[in-house]
Amino acid sequence: DISFIGTVLEHAAAVHGVVVPIDQIRLARIALHRLGLIAKSAERDRRPTEDELARIIATAEGNRRQVIPLGRIIKFAVATAMRQDEICRVTLEDFNQEQSTLMIRQRKHPRQKLTNDQVIPLVSDAGFDAAELIIAQQRQSGRTSGFIFPYDGRSVGAAFRRVCRDLAIQDLHFHDLRHEAISRLFEADWDIPQVAAVSGHRDWKMLQRYTHLRPSFIASRAGTANRLT
């Protein structure tokens, strides 16, 4: 709130010529930081365990009353590192089966507000075959055009939370599947440019926030290196 107020006052001065002293805003921010009342939000490092992910997918696929193919969408999220709203926006026209690629239109970028279309490779190294999931969804729907997953992103998120609640899985968000996907690609020995070509990040600093390698994976790699030496 303090930052927002400061931004409004700075905009008023720069754009409208309404000069309002903002020293008190600056001092308030310093005081609140020192009192520990405001701070940067903690970065999430939550990844689903193999068991959690398997149970979520099995429960979603076993629910005959659910219209949304939640199990397939979850697999697709892990396979592509795509965001919830991106999954619900991509179309069959953007899917190139021959080249195994997918165009994501107007992809979110933290520093770029204009259209940011990106073609990503569809791979299976994260544990699920993204292209096969699209083909299966197309076969089931019987459509040859339009949205691949024609559902409201908020409804997908609500369905995911409902399954987690029913399974008593705590503190897991749909967006955490993006962290899972990126981490799996690194665990599959992808390098930074390759992972960025899927995730859409522009540099390692941005990508690092989404990378959370499992301690067991690091330990296994260290053990392999020791055996080789």
pLDDT computed for residue 117 by the predictor: 87
- Identify the segments of the chain with pLDDT beneath 50: none
**Per-residue pLDDT tens over the stretch 24-50:** 888 888 888 888 877 666 677 889 999
| pTM of the entire predicted model | 0.76
> What is residue 113's predicted lDDT score, i.e. its pLDDT?
54
| Distance between CA atoms of residues 168 and 163, nearest Å | 9
Judging by beta carbons within 10 Å of its beta carbon (0-12, 13-18, 19+), is residue 216 exposed, middle or buried? exposed
- Nearby residues of 216 by Cβ (< 8 Å), 6 or more positions away: none
**pLDDT on residue 211:** 67
SS3 labels along the chain: CHHHHHHHHHHHHHHHCCCCCCHHHHHHHHHHHHCCCCCCCCCCCCCCCHHHHHHHHHHHHHCCCCCCCHHHHHHHHHHHCCCHHHHCCCEHHHEECCCCEEEECCCCCCCCCCCCCEEEECCCCCCCCHHHHHHHHHHHHCCCCCECCCCCHHHHHHHHHHHHHHCCCCCCCCCHHHHHHHHHHHHCCCCHHHHHHHHCCCCHHHHHCCCCCCHHHHHHHHHHHHHHC
Give the model's pLDDT for residue 219: 62
pLDDT given for residue 228 in this prediction: 52
User: What CA–CA distance (Å, rounded) separates 35 from 190?
Assistant: 43
How distant is the alpha carbon of residue 211 from its chain centre? 11
Please give the pLDDT value at position 115: 57
Task: Give the pLDDT confidence score for residue 16 in this predicted structure.
Answer: 92
Q: How many Å apart are CA 157 and CA 88, to the nearest integer? A: 11
